[in-house]
Amino acid sequence: MEAMILFPAIDLKDGQCVRLVHGLMDQATVFNDDPAAQARAFEEAGFDYLHLVDLNGAFEGKPVNAAAVESILAAISMPAQLGGGIRDLATIEMWLDKGIARVIIGTAAVKNPALVIEACRKFPGRIAVGLDAKGGRVATEGWADVSDLTVLDMARRFEDAGVAAIIYTDIDRDGALQGLNIEATVALADAISIPVIASGGLSSIDDLKKLIAANCSGIEGAISGRALYDGRLDPKEVLALLKGLR
């Protein structure tokens, strides 16, 4: 297997770097009020790719934390992917022009699948789809609405669209440090040809060891937020594991 990527997450709420529990905006913990400094710290620690979410944007359906995102992009040289409030082609193009490497379409992928297909055609390799599951069903609008669609149903819609990755988040575990839903992630990755990124609940290096042990070539990597911020994950140890240096 190729080395997995661990994406450190910066979730933006009101211009600050926060983590939520189960996606609830009223349960936000502020970890850094300077997102650009946090991004620099992740890059200096040796990470290769950053995961950004505009939380306010996810709820409002339009970019809200643009100034914070732009300050992050100015502070780092590593690529960053961004989701939250990206609902039309103009917003996708705007973020790619500003230097975002990969745009994540979530709610709009459920409500307007044609947008994903059009965006993939126009910006090949630069469009990811975020599928966030509550009880196995896809949630939208900042996880406020739960649809009747399963994650696999949604993922299969984009099988031939040219999507760069599916970011699969288990909302019930997100921010709660309960461990990745490895079984569901591997099942999804085995069922589709699009690379899958695991998200939600990563709590320790053991989660990553289990993900590697699953030996699933369809898994591109995993996203970590709270476990990195509170010291449960040691960047050097994790990066050595993922790059096969141990």
Q: Which of 14, 26, 132, 206 is catalytic?
A: 132
- Beta-ladder partners of 13: 16
Q: How far apart are the C-alpha atoms of 42 and 57, rounded to whole Å? A: 23
Give the chain's radius of gyration (CA, Å): 16
Identified catalytic residue from 11, 170, 174, 207: 11
Closest CA to 66 of 32, 25, 35: 35
Token pair in block for residue 37 = 């400094």
Active-site residue, 11 included: yes
Main-chain dihedrals φ then ψ at residue 48, nearest 5 degrees = -105, -15
Task: Give the separation between CA 110 and CA 44, rounded to whole angstroms.
Answer: 36
Following CA atoms 38, 56, 181, 198 in sequence, which dihedral angle do they give, to the nearest 10 degrees? -60
Asked if 65 contacts 56 with a C-beta cutoff of 8 angstroms, the reply is yes
Neighbouring residues of 183: CB distance < 8 A, sequence distance ≥ 6: none
**Spatial distance between the Cα atoms of 221 and 163, rounded to a whole number of angstroms:** 16
Confirm whether 132 is a catalytic residue.
yes
By annotation, the residues acting in catalysis are 11, 132
